[in-house]
Amino acid sequence: MSSVPLSAQLINLFASVILLMAFAMLAQRRVLPLINLFAIQGAVLAASTGVVAVTTHQAHLYWSAGLTLALKALLLPWILHRLVRRLNVKWDVESLINIPTTMIVGIVLVVVAFNVALPISQLSSTISRGTLGIALASVMLAFLMMITRSKAIPQVVGFLAMENGLFLAATSATYGMPMVVELGIALDVLVGAIILGVFFFQIREQFDSLDIRHLERLKDS
């Protein structure tokens, strides 16, 4: 089985780890391990981008690998850890649907994602094309996590994990977006995380809790 080059095997391995992390986040009940899982996903994403960069010699991919590592594996998890400590939240993550059911829904989503991505990855000529389905699956799993969690921080982790999946999609289908776009996206994510941090304090000040079930009063009569 020497027909698949080592780099492609590595990329596929990393992609499956990313998917595994997406499932692990879906199953995780505690908030600090959830942030750590997110950090691991970011690190693996950076590693996978790095491998693509080395094999294809695309200069800008080195930059985006570095940016991913700095932003998603280090800076954002650090901000989230600080937030959790400052807000003094140690509760369990509550899920609106029980976790086994969520996992089954997750598996269905993965199958759907693979089917949607199949015609596109056949058109692609990149070394990492097989991972497009995984990327779409991670986006959908992160989305599922956002829907099923009732606390603010897990929702935000879901939001950021969704961005991870999108980044994987960009590298696997096209070797990454143009540099200026990637920088812009990174800036938006960072500013978004900071604004959310400010926002958490506002919510806490008002409700004495970060449970977003308090945020269900606005309805159409």
Partner 1 sequence: MDTFVLMLAIPLVSGMLLTVVGEREWAPNLNIVASLGTFLSSALLTGEIIADGPRMAFGEMFFIDSLNVFLVTLTAFVGLTTSIFSGPYMKNEQEHGRLTKGRMRLYKSMFQLFMFTMLAALTTNNLGILWVAMEAATLTTVLLVSLYRTPASLEAAWKYFILCGVGIAQALFGTILLYFAAERVLGETGNALLWTRLVDVKGQLEPTVMALAFIFLLVGYGTKVGLAPLHNWLPDAHAEGPTPVSAVLSGLLLNVALYAILRCKVLADGALPGGFAGNLMMGFGLLTLVMAAFFLSRQKDIKRMFAYSSIEHMGLITFAFGMGGVVANFAGLLHMTMHSLTKSAIFFAVGHATQKTGTQIMENIRGLLRINPVIGWGLMLGTLAILGMPPFGVFASEFMILTHAMKHHPWATPVLLLALGVAFASIFGRVQSMVFGETHAKRLPHAPAITPVFLHLAIVLALGLYIPPYLTRWFHEAAKMIG
- Does residue 88 bind partner 1 (CB under 8 A)? no
Of these, 13, 70, 75, 166, which contacts partner 1 (CB under 8 A)? 166
Binding mask 99-138 for partner 1 (x = CB under 8 A): -----------------x--xx--xx-----------x--
Burial of 32 (0-12, 13-18, 19+ CB in 10 A): middle
- Does residue 170 bind partner 1 (CB under 8 A)? yes
Quick check: 176 and 135 in contact, CB under 8 A? no
Quick check: 48 and 68 in contact, CB under 8 A? no
Least CB distance from residue 1 to partner 1, whole Å? 29
Closer by beta carbon to partner 1, 91 or else 199? 199
Q: Which secondary structure element, helix H or strand E, spans residue 189, and what is its range?
A: helix 179-207
Calpha distance 173→176 (Å, rounded): 8
Least CB distance from residue 220 to partner 1, whole Å? 6
Calpha distance 208→108 (Å, rounded): 37
Of these, 12, 32, 177, 211, which contacts partner 1 (CB under 8 A)? 177
Least CB distance from residue 141 to partner 1, whole Å? 13
Residue-wise DSSP of 99-111: HHHHHHHHHHHHH
Residues binding partner 1: number (CB under 8 A): 48
Of these, 70, 146, 150, 211, which contacts partner 1 (CB under 8 A)? 146
- Does residue 47 bind partner 1 (CB under 8 A)? no
Cα distances (Å, whole numbers) of residue 204 to 30, 157, 159, 171? 19, 18, 20, 38
Quick check: 137 and 19 in contact, CB under 8 A? yes
Tokens of 118: 């199949």
Least CB distance from residue 154 to partner 1, whole Å? 12
Calpha distance 78→116 (Å, rounded): 35
Binding mask 182-221 for partner 1 (x = CB under 8 A): --xx-xx--xx--xx-xx--xx-xxx----x-xxxxx-xx
Chain residues binding partner 1 by CB under 8 A are 116, 119-120, 123-124, 136, 139, 143, 146, 152, 155, 159, 162-163, 166, 169-170, 173-175, 177-181, 184-185, 187-188, 191-192, 195-196, 198-199, 202-203, 205-207, 212, 214-218, 220-221
